Amino acid sequence: MAQPWVQAAFGVAGLLVAAWLLQLLAQLVLTRGVARLGLAAGARGLAAVLLDRAVLRRVARVAPALLVLLAARFVPHLAAPVVTVVENVAAALIVLFVARTLFKMLDVALHVHDRHGDAARSIKAYVQMGQLLVAIAAVVIMIAALADKSPLIVLSGFGAMSAVLMLVFQDTIKSFAAGLQIEGNDMLRVGDWIEVPQAGADGAVIDIALNTVKVQNWDKTIVTIPTWKLMSESFKNWRGMQESGGRRIKRTLMIDADSIHFLSDTQIERLAHIKLIAGYVNEKADAVKISRAMKLRELGDVLGRVPANQRRLTNIGTFRAYVQAYLQANSGIHPEMTLMVRMLQPTPEGVPLELYCFTNTTAWVDYEAIQSDIFDHLLAILPEFDLRAFQNPSGAGLGEALAEWRSAAPARA
C-alpha cells in the first residue's frame, strides 16, 4: 500500500489537473458559447458588458480556484495546516480573479458608453474611481484571507493609517469631488473648447479622467490639467458660443482724427448715390435743410448762415451709418443677435470705431473669413467718405514728409 504522503501528492496533482481541465471547459463554454450567443443577439447596455468575451474569459479563471477551495479538504492524508494554507491561497486567488473581472467589466462599460452613449459625457472618472475602490477592497479581503482573519480586523489596522492614506490619496479625493461637481453642473464635456490661461491651455478637451483633464491646444500640443484645479481656479468654456450658432466680432477701426470733418453739400449729394445709405443721407439732408431754415428765421440772415450755427453732417457719422447698414445686409452676420457700431473714446492712436456683431457660424475658418472680408471692405471704402485709417509713421513715410518739407523750403524763404 502506498505511503500517505504519496497519496497526498497524487491527490494534489489530481486536484490541479482537474482545476486546469475545469478552466479549459469554462473558457470553452463561456467564450465560445455564451459570448457568441450574446453577439448574435446583439446585446446592448449591461448585457453587452456581461457577455463580453474578455469579461467571460476572466470569469472562467474563477472556476479552478473555486474548485481548489472546495475540494482541498477531501485530498487524502493532506495535513490540516496545509489544507488551511491551500484554502486561504485559493480564497485570495478567487478575490483577485473577481477583482480583475470587475476591472474588465468597468473597462468594457466605458468602451460601450463611448461607442453607443453620449461621447461628450465622459464616465472615465467614475470608471477609474470604481476600479480604485475595487482594488482597495480586493487588497483588504486578500490580506484577510491569507492571514485567516476577518476583513474587519484588517480594516481596523488601516484605520490607524488613515492620516497617511489621506495624504497619499489627497489629489485623488479632491479630483473625484471636483469631477462630481463638474459632471453635476455640466461644466465640462469632451469636445468643449476651453481656455485655462494659468495652465497654458487653449483648445479642445479630448479626455476627462479621474485625476486629469487633457486639452489639445490649437497648435496640437496637449496640456494635462489636474481635475481639482478646474474647480479651484477659473476657466472659460466656449460651448455656449458654439451652441448659440453665432460668434462675436468685436474689433475697432482706428480713424485718423485729422480726416474727420463736416460734409459739404457736394459731398452729401455724392454719398446719396450709395445704395446702402441713400435713404439715410436723403433723410438727414432734408432734416439739415429744415434745421437751417429754422435757424435763419430764428437768428436772422447773417447769424443763420454762420457754419457754427448750422446743423451739419459729419463724414464719420455718415460712415458709421454705412457700416451699420453694411453689416445688416451682410449674409454672414447673424440677424437675430446684437449688432451695433459705436464710437469709443479718442486715443493717441486715433478715433476708435468699434464693430460689435455676431457671425452666423461658429466654425473658426469661416468666422475669420467673414471678419476679414468685412474689414477688407471697410478699409478700402474709407476714402469714399474722405476718411483715413490711422497708421504710425513708418521710415518711408517720414522720408517722404522730410523730402516734401525740403522742396517747400525755397517757397517759405
Residues 300 and 196 in one domain: no
Q: What pLDDT, on a 0 to 100 scale, did the predictor assign at position 223? A: 94
Question: Crossing angle of helices 124-147/80-116, nearest 10°?
Answer: 180
Give the domain range for residue 22. Answer: 4-168
Q: What pLDDT, on a 0 to 100 scale, did the predictor assign at position 395? A: 59
Q: Which residues contact 238 (CB under 8 A, 6 or more apart)?
A: 192, 193, 194, 195
Residues 226 and 360 in one domain: no
Residues 209 and 131 in one domain: no
Residues 62 and 211 in one domain: no
Residues 141 and 219 in one domain: no
**C-alpha separations of 18 from 30, 36, 63, 87 in Å:** 18, 26, 11, 16
Residues 219 and 287 in one domain: no
Residue 413 in domain: no
Residues 43 and 160 in one domain: yes
Residue 401 in domain: no
Residues 267 and 190 in one domain: no
Residues 284 and 360 in one domain: yes
Residues 194 and 258 in one domain: no
**All three cell numbers of 125:** 472618472
Please write the tens of the pLDDT for every residue from 330-350.
999 999 999 999 999 999 989
CB 62 within 8 A of CB 101: yes
Residue 205 in domain: yes
pLDDT tens for each residue of the chain, 413 residues long: 457 766 777 777 887 888 888 888 888 877 777 766 655 555 566 677 777 777 888 888 888 888 888 887 877 777 778 878 888 888 888 888 888 888 888 888 877 777 766 655 667 777 877 888 888 888 888 888 888 777 777 666 666 566 666 677 777 778 878 877 887 777 888 889 999 999 899 999 998 888 889 999 999 999 999 888 888 888 999 888 888 889 999 999 999 998 999 988 889 889 999 999 999 988 888 887 877 777 667 766 656 565 666 677 889 999 999 999 999 999 999 999 999 999 999 999 899 999 999 999 999 899 999 999 999 999 999 999 999 999 877 655 556 656 766 666 555 45
Please name the amino acid found at residue 342. R
Q: How far apart are CA 279 and CA 273, in angstroms?
A: 10
- The DSSP string of 8-53 is HHHHHHHHHHHHHHHHHHHHHHIIIIIHHHHHHTT--THHHHHT-H
Which domain-ending residue is among 122, 141, 168?
Answer: 168
Question: Crossing angle of helices 62-71/53-60, nearest 10°?
Answer: 20
Q: Which residues contact 249 (CB under 8 A, 6 or more apart)?
A: 355, 356, 357, 358, 359, 370, 371, 374
Residue 147 in domain: yes
Residues 282 and 350 in one domain: yes
Q: What pLDDT, on a 0 to 100 scale, did the predictor assign at position 1? A: 43
Residue 246 in domain: no
Residue 399 in domain: no
Using the Cα atoms of residue 405, residue 406, residue 411 and residue 413 in order, give the sign of their dihedral.
Answer: positive
Residues 222 and 308 in one domain: no
Helix (H) or strand (E) holding 229: helix 229-232
Q: What pLDDT, on a 0 to 100 scale, did the predictor assign at position 216? A: 95
Residue 90 in domain: yes
Please write the tens of the pLDDT for every residue from 168-190.
777 777 887 887 788 777 788 88
Residue 79 in domain: yes
Radius of gyration of the chain (CA): 40
Which domain-ending residue is among 113, 140, 168?
Answer: 168
Q: What pTM was estimated for this model as a whole?
A: 0.61
Closest CA to 73 of 62, 88, 89, 84: 84
